Amino acid sequence: MEVRETDEPQPGPHELLLRTLSTGICASDVHFMDHPDVGRDDPSGQSLYDENRDIILGHEFVGEVIGYGPGCSDQFPVGSRVTSISMRLVDGGPAIRIIGQHPEAQGSFAERMVVSEAFARPVADGVSDDAIAVVDAFAVGEFYVEKSKIRPGVVPIVIGAGAVGISAVAALAARNVHPIVVSDRRADRREMARSFGADILVDANTTPSPFEAWQDAAHAAGIRKPPTVFECVGAAGLIQELIDSCQPGTRIYAAGGWYTYDTINVTSASKKGLMMQFGGGPRTVDWDRTLEAVCTGTLDPLPSVGRVIGLDEVPAALDEVRRAEGPLRIVVHPNGDVPSGDARS
């Protein structure tokens, strides 16, 4: 990875040219770099890793409209702020590319970027750029929690209090599903989970299985239904550990982002009557719902943002994310307007 000058992007038909205001660093940026075979062999064609073609990473962003391609409407005036799901329609469609993971959809770790007008969404006045830059991350938890149809009367377990785990906690708390059990190795992330609505914190260093805490919580609340587990780590072998230690009838949602191959014992899962779902989100409806929550103040994601940096610091920050170090979320101001003395910097 290197930071350097590139050609000014040119908006195509029905596309907007943006001055990037803020963009979030996501673990999937690192996964895309570290597992190029996934991009080489994507049967959908939506992502592409090609050593001979440059890719600008970054797919969580907000920007200011500074130009248009042919055929655009007047929906987004010059100077307005917009964000978008991380998809670009190639030449106006129907082919779709993932922004930041395809040479034909360059990402947001840049001073300028292009988005499809069809996917663009307006940003309400007064809402922080940095809050919008992490909407995509919080939409992941919204998707899995909504997909589970969980409601009060079930004790959920969230495995991992990284960005995805925190988003799941926030989505559970928004539905008043309590108590929420969260397991993580880092004390600061467990406390972050508490600030978003978690009730019972489990130190994974000393208590590998969270099911004892779940059992105590369910008994105290008079709840007899099996747990719903949101696995938000993606570590090899973890799903099998959950299968081996969970109660019959447990539902497991694998939200951790899997980029390495793994195996599970289907017989063990079948004998316990487990229901499992892998991947699949967020959908546009989940993303729009999360954006609305942030714009209306129902959800405040800013406590998850621990640092604001400039473009030159992105390579080092990605290494931090790779090592699972540093703050929960790092956002980038590509045009250099990094606030001096910011409490998050």
What integer pLDDT is reported at residue 345 of this predicted model?
Answer: 36
Q: Characterize the bridge pairing of strands 60-68 and 15-24.
A: antiparallel
| pLDDT tens string 180-226 | 999 999 999 999 999 999 999 999 999 989 999 999 999 999 999 99
| pLDDT tens string 70-122 | 999 999 999 999 999 999 998 767 889 999 999 999 999 999 999 999 999 99
Q: What is the mean pLDDT of residues 290-305?
A: 97
What integer pLDDT is reported at residue 39 of this predicted model?
Answer: 82
What integer pLDDT is reported at residue 68 of this predicted model?
Answer: 96
With b meaning 16 or more CB within 10 Å and e meaning fewer, what string describes 207-217?
A: eebbbebbeeb
**Cα 166 to chain center, whole Å?**
10
pLDDT above 70: percentage of residues in the chain: 98
| pLDDT tens string 22-52 | 999 999 999 999 988 888 888 888 999 999 9
Rounded to 5 degrees, φ, ψ at 298 are: -65, -30
Q: What is the mean pLDDT of residues 255-262?
A: 78
What integer pLDDT is reported at residue 186 of this predicted model?
Answer: 95
CA distance 76 to 120: 9
CA distance 297 to 121: 17
Rounded CA Rg of the chain: 20
| pLDDT tens string 121-130 | 999 999 999 9
Q: What is the mean pLDDT of residues 245-258?
A: 91
Whether the pLDDT of residue 8 is over 70: the answer is yes
Whether the pLDDT of residue 258 is over 70: the answer is no
Whether the pLDDT of residue 156 is over 60: the answer is yes
pLDDT above 90: percentage of residues in the chain: 85
Q: Going from the N-terminus, what domains does the chain have, and what CATH number goes with each?
A: 15-134+301-332 (3.90.180.10), 138-278 (3.40.50.720)
Whether the pLDDT of residue 169 is over 90: the answer is yes
